Amino acid sequence: MKINDDGQLLTTAITLCFRGKTLQIPHIIIDTGSSHTVFSPDALEEIGVSYENGDPVYEAYGIGGTVSFYTKVMDYIQIGHFKAEQVEIDVGILPKSHIGLLGLDVLKPNGFIVDMDKLELYNASSG
């Protein structure tokens, strides 16, 4: 999958499916410094993602301080040809220009490789 480099951030495209509704996000930030994959609630509204009683809630700590997130399970996420089902993601407020962060919880266990020379993201089995 092609990586976009705007000089500050690396992004790629991702497709999410929640309760049968799909959403394509053309620019999710590849964030190897984030332990979790996180999306802005505004970005997921059109596929029906919202907080429901019983959703796990926790606080995340980072450079910007403390932020509350809730957790949802996606039917699947797809990055290029890679597809994973029943993936847990976090939903919470991100800076205005950020739709989502693709974190280590997806990248590491699935063997993703960030090729900075070719500006490509792929998982080791598809490499």
Span 46-90, pLDDT tens digits: 999 999 999 999 887 766 677 889 999 999 999 999 999 999 999
Return the CATH number at 91.
2.40.70.10
Range of the domain at 77: 4-123
Distance CA 1, CA 80 (A): 5
Overall pTM > 0.75:
yes
Residues 6+ apart with CB under 8 A from 71: 55, 56, 57, 58, 88, 89, 90, 91
Total domains, the chain: 1
* Residue 94, pLDDT above cutoff 90: no
